Structure 1
Amino acid sequence: MAKVDAHMIAARARDAGRLGIDTEFMGEGRYRSLLCLVQVAVDDGDGAADVWVLDPLDRDGFDPAPLAELLADPAIEIVLHAGRQDVALLRRVWGTTITNVFDTQIAAGFAGMRAQIGYEGLLSELLGVRLQKSASFTKWDARPLSPEQAEYAREDVLHILQATDALKDRLERSGRLEWAQEECRVLETITDDRDVDAVFERLPRIAGLDGGVRAIARELVAWREETAREQDKPVSSVLQDAALVEIARRKPKSMERLSQIRGLHEGILRRRGKWILDAVERGREQPPIPTTSERSPGPSPKDAPLIALSEALVRAHALSSGLAYELLATRADLQAVVTAVREGLTEPDVRTLRGWRRELVGDELLALLRGERVLCVGDGLRLDVTAR
């Protein structure tokens, strides 16, 4: 792969005020994904873009510092498509922050396109461009890249700036550009760091166990994360969740007792048995971890029709507003709102009740669930909302 001048690319992007960027990575068999390629695009001044394919695996020939600094500059717009993983990877590997993000997939939802539209579909709809997506699932960590891989990587950003211009034109005409930009800012905080406590709380059936068992499970999670990180292996290859919880429940003190636990094959016992027992012992010495004493009431079977009614309201607003429904609410959001109204609780902190979403649909949703609004079928089989 030809050497590139990152300082020159950064200077060009600063002049243009924006940078299109995409990544290729490999996650299989690793603790966290390996950044394999970075593709960048800069306006060429004639309505098209110049593209460079950068090799972050070339430790001697590529210095990411100028581009890392560029990503952190709020004066430069960083354009991506479905960029959650890209942002997390670049933040971690390049040790930078990423600001002023514009994600074309997110923006497309505000422009009346389907939620989570793929890049190929976006270009086809906006620009009439068709891509040759033939190398997506290849070994991006192999060198040298094949001509097919190099062309695939290049195409992933070749038209992204043109697509951004077309999207912004639509959004400005509909008055939704600021909404899209606000939504894109959420990506600036995305990370692929794994929080031990969050992983612990997601363990199966962990909430129903007593505090002492929970303390051991938490220590086993911490040991598993450290081991997987040091050996760059998926956590599941170190110790499966179900086996981890069962170890915490049984609290084995010997290899013999440990070997009786289902899901621990001979290889794991031989390589990791001692470390597992050590983690169990450390967990015994920790104070018990209590479960949350004031849990929110759970879903009720009676909620199903209320959630369906709520979804009908949200979908009607999405359709009339030219927005993807998924931008306004998820089923979990609606369940939280329904539960809070049913139980007379404080409003839940869900996105449907915040910012522009509340103005568009949130207040009306609450009024509907309180019996202050009625949904009815109007002309043309259109759903209408009227005061009761």
Structure 2
Amino acid sequence: MFQYITQQDQLYDLYAVMASTDTYALDTEFIKVNTLRPCLGLLQINVEGQVFLLDGKTLDLTDLWLLIFNARLNILHACGEDLDLIHYYANQKPLSNVFDTQVGLAFLGHGLQLSYQQALSQELDIQIDKGETRSDWLARPLRPEQLQYAANDVIHLPALAKTIQEQLQQKQLWEYVLQDCQTCAHEIASDTPLTELYLDVANFRYNRKQLAQLQQLCIWREQIARATDQPKSFILKNSTMVDLLDKQPMNAYQMQRIKDLRPNVLREHGKTILDLMHYLPEHSQWPGRLPRPLRFKNNELLDQVNHYVTSVSQSIQVPAEVLLRKKWLSAMINLIALKEDESKLPAYLLGWRYDLLTRPILSLLSQQQQALAAEMSPVD
């Protein structure tokens, strides 16, 4: 039911088959434990019903990446980690010609994270074994059970995509789904600017000096992780940086009491970490205080927003949880409270949702702009 390709010259047969169509079903198996970047074990591809398993350790897939990026459509399920890997190995991004069947299923009311195994069971009444989920995909030789497991991930994927697409087209939601998939791909491909990495760890309680320290630590951690291909947590965990900000160590002895600070990191980088915390840029370059998280005390306003989302959900037959995520609503509240530009909103809110949802909700929120701004003002 599949062909396992380990030799470079075997790829020509695959490329010949790929030339006859413009739609591919893809999946990957990889390991990302002790490295910053994923290590490709297998790439699985279904082309016109023929399944190929490509050995990521032995093959040069340069030409394959070109074909995938030039395809009309690539079908995946829960594409996030797969796209991250493809972007890295192809040295190109974003791969935006994607249909994620998990996204399509969410529009059809199956929840935001339906697994591939559950999707096949519910939509096609097909049962597959997922017993090799935690396999070592870099070990060689791969066992027959591993190869069959990997093949199963794409054997039925085109049929699953077809039945989902038909249901979406009946509800006139297909274009919405494709747009969300494209937005997701661009989001995955977007690198956070170094100077903004600290925002993933920062707390509104931190003063500007602590934020400047955190900013420098995050930039340094990212640079070391990239240079050494280590997970960032191997250098400094987020909890370790938080403890550094709280305890403000002044010397190597005090550094020994910092939470989860690895002995090798303390030995090799302890002085650098202290310098990063104590030699800061000019005060004018420190980040500004962060707004307090909104607790949304105005229940009447929240009820109005929820009522509107429910009405749109019923009108276009899209689940409310798909229409509006909590973090997207928070982004709209921040925009109104802080009088920011709409371009700062998540891209999901600026596409097909904009006229249906975003603009009306922003109008509702703007009626309470002063109250929202007061509640989110940074603490002294």
Contact 2:204 2:292 survives alignment (8 Å): no
Q: Write the mapping of 1:130-149 to structure 2, written as runs, cut at 5 A.
A: 130-149=127-146
Pair 1:78 & 2:77 matched: no
User: What residue identity is the alignment partner of 2:68?
Assistant: L
Pair 1:66 & 2:63 matched: yes
- Residue deviations 1:172-195 (CA, integer Å, cap 9, x gap): 222221111111111332238564
Matched with 2:206 is 208
User: What residue identity is the alignment partner of 2:13?
Assistant: M
Contact 2:208 2:288 survives alignment (8 Å): no
| Equivalent of 1:234 in 231, 236, 239 | 231
Q: Measure the CA separation in 1 of the matches of 2:91 and 2:339.
A: 45
Matched with 1:196 is 194
Task: Compute the TM-score of the two structures, normalised by the length of structure 1.
Answer: 0.79
Secondary structure of 2:279's counterpart equals: helix
Matched with 2:167 is 170
Q: Measure the CA separation in 2 of the matches of 1:226 and 1:333.
A: 30
Matched with 1:186 is 183
Contact 1:298 1:339 survives alignment (8 Å): no
Matched with 1:105 is 102
Matched with 1:51 is 51
Q: Write the mapping of 1:119-138 to structure 2, written as runs, cut at 5 A.
A: 119-138=116-135
Cα–Cα, structure 1 residues 6 and 329, in superposed 2: closer, same or farther, change >3 Å?
A: same
Q: Measure the CA separation in 1 of the matches of 2:251 and 2:125.
A: 66
Shift of 1:200: 1.6
Cα–Cα, structure 1 residues 287 and 182, in superposed 2: closer, same or farther, change >3 Å?
A: same
Q: Measure the CA separation in 2 of the matches of 1:355 and 1:119.
A: 27
Shift of 1:55: 1.3
Q: Measure the CA separation in 1 of the matches of 2:360 and 2:212.
A: 44
Matched with 1:326 is 321
| Equivalent of 2:273 in 272, 276, 301 | 276
Cα–Cα, structure 1 residues 147 and 339, in superposed 2: closer, same or farther, change >3 Å?
A: same
Cα–Cα, structure 1 residues 292 and 64, in superposed 2: closer, same or farther, change >3 Å?
A: same
- Residue deviations 1:34-92 (CA, integer Å, cap 9, x gap): 2221100101xxxxx1111111112xxx120121101221x431111111111111111
Larger Rg: 1
Shift of 1:278: 4.9
- Residue deviations 1:130-174 (CA, integer Å, cap 9, x gap): 212211122222222122111110000011112222222222222
Contact 1:219 1:279 survives alignment (8 Å): yes
Where does structure 2 lack aligned partners over 5 or more consecutive residues? 368-380
| Equivalent of 2:35 in 17, 30, 33 | 30
Where does structure 1 lack aligned partners over 5 or more consecutive residues? 44-48, 372-388
Secondary structure of 1:286's counterpart equals: coil
Matched with 1:356 is 352
Shift of 1:343: 8.6
Task: Compute the TM-score of the two structures, normalised by the length of structure 2.
Answer: 0.80
User: What residue identity is the alignment partner of 2:270?
Assistant: G
Q: Measure the CA separation in 2 of the matches of 1:117 and 1:325.
A: 16
* RMSD, matched Cα: 3.3
